[in-house]
Amino acid sequence: MKYHHFYYCIAVFFLFGCANKYHLFTSNYQFTAKDGKPDYSDLSYWAAHPYKHDPSDSVPKPLRATSNIDSTVDVFFIHPTTYTSVAKEFGNNAPVDNAELNAKTDYSTILYQASVFNQAGRVFSPRYRQASLLAYFPKTSSDTTEAIAAFELAYQDIKTAFNYYLQHNNNGRPIIIASHSQGTTHAKRLLKAFFDSSSLKNKLVAAYLVGIPVETNLLTNIKPCATPTQTGCVCSWRTFKNGYAPEYVAKEPSVIITNPLTWDSSKPLATKVVNKGSILLNFNKLVPKVAEANITGNILWTSKPHFFGNIFYTNKNYHIADYNLYYLSVRDNVNERIKAFWKR
């Protein structure tokens, strides 16, 4: 269960901005959950939803002129851990009605990650009682038991949200499942439970399960994506600095690893020249040639990202930037797969 997440302050500063800005948005989140449970019939319990305006609707300024939303496809995005406090002031699971935490979620991961998919279709992203970041680092058997329970509670919310979405919103549309970090922990279960052995897999455009290892033998009927236009398949990657391979990676089984610049299993290496645009601190600035993408074993390597201020960026795990470094490439590839889905 130990997985080395990357939420250090300096990384957050360069990619999402300082956390202390989120209190500026808390007045937008004045609701109270009955019995502490999310009510997915209420839009307040969706971080992103097509029936309201939210940060997932945002488009970087350089892309606005060419952005046309395809409303015939839906994206179900499961956000990563934003309950990162070492104090665990809410216990093992975060509440769904805490204003500052919801503001942090919406103006970090929903803005900088879920927005990647807004041209592809309608974006749905549920709030859920996410497990604490510390649940990934149990120190005792008691910690492990509590962590398992915390992840189970979080997944049950995701499962409830997805069932609600299927019953009330999907109406037969094709689906993209997308996630990052803790979101991928839950998306793996969701994909196996709802798609792998059911007719719903025929509606799967693709799954982008990023930031957490996805075992190659996890699914029976859904395969890793091997080409840029393959559909009904899974893409996954984790980004580290060239030459860096954490010890825990060597102990892992075979996992799905996709190059987010080539999208082609026969082309595992790509220089930063082909990276047309990353999104860093300034959401409205698309920066080209920031990072390359080279598959090495179970992970993705890139040299130190090239951007103003990177002298202060000393970490070797680029977890928090898995989507940001390849923002435009992911956005374009999603559209490629949608076109291929309609042609099949």
Q: Is residue 240 part of a domain?
A: yes
**Does 302 have pLDDT greater than 80?**
yes
Domain region containing 219: 21-257+331-343
- Residue 273 is assigned to a structural domain of this protein: no
Using 50, 70 and 90 to split pLDDT, how confident is the model at 309? Answer: low
Give SS3 for 144.
helix
What's the pLDDT score for residue 65?
81
Q: Encode burial over 75-104: b for 16+ CB neighbours within 10 A, e otherwise.
A: bbbbbbbbbbeeeeeeebbbbbbbbebbbb
* Tokens at 211, concatenated: 């930031």
Q: Which of 151, 185, 172, 229 is nearest to 78 (CA)?
A: 185
> Does some domain include residue 10?
no
Q: Mean per-residue pLDDT for 64-91?
A: 90
**What does the pLDDT average to over 140-162?**
98
Q: What is the pLDDT of residues 81-113, one digit of tens each?
A: 999 999 999 999 999 999 999 999 999 999 999
- In the predicted structure, residue 3 carries a pLDDT above the cut 70: no
pLDDT of residue 12: 43
Give, in order, the Cα–Cα distances in Å from 92 to each of 37, 40, 89, 129, 243.
Answer: 15, 22, 9, 9, 35
Higher per-residue confidence, 248 vs 67: 248
Res. 68: pLDDT tops 80:
no
Rounded to the nearest integer, the mean pLDDT of the chain is 91
Residue 4 belongs to some domain of the structure:
no
Which residue's entry shows tokens 């790509």?
A: 270
Domain of 52: which CATH number? Answer: 3.40.50
pLDDT digits over 11-37, tens only? Answer: 444 444 445 678 888 989 999 999 999
Number of domain units in the chain: 1
Mean pLDDT throughout 249-259?
A: 93
- pLDDT at position 23, please? 80
Q: If 0-12 CB within 10 Å is exposed, 13-18 middle and 19+ buried, where does residue 35 land?
A: exposed
d(CA 211, CA 321): 9
Q: Is 168 inside a domain boundary? A: yes
Q: Of 217-231, 259-273, 292-306, which range is least confident?
A: 292-306
In order of 78, 128, 182, the CA distances from 46 in angstroms are 11, 9, 17
Average of pLDDT values for 274-280? 95
pLDDT in tens, 161-218: 999 999 999 999 999 999 999 999 999 999 999 999 999 999 999 999 999 999 999 9
- Strand-pairing partners, residue 123, are 75
13 assigned to some structural domain: no
Using the predicted structure, report yes or no on whether residue 49 has a pLDDT greater than 70: yes
Angstrom distance (rounded) from CA 135 to CA 147: 5
Overall average pLDDT of the 141-153 stretch:
98
How many CA atoms within 13 Å lie on the side-chain side of 340?
A: 17
pTM here is: 0.93
- pLDDT band at 307; cut points 50, 70, 90: low
Establish if 313 belongs to a structural domain.
no
pLDDT number for residue 344: 85
Residue 226 belongs to some domain of the structure? yes
Predicted local confidence at residue 308, as pLDDT: 57
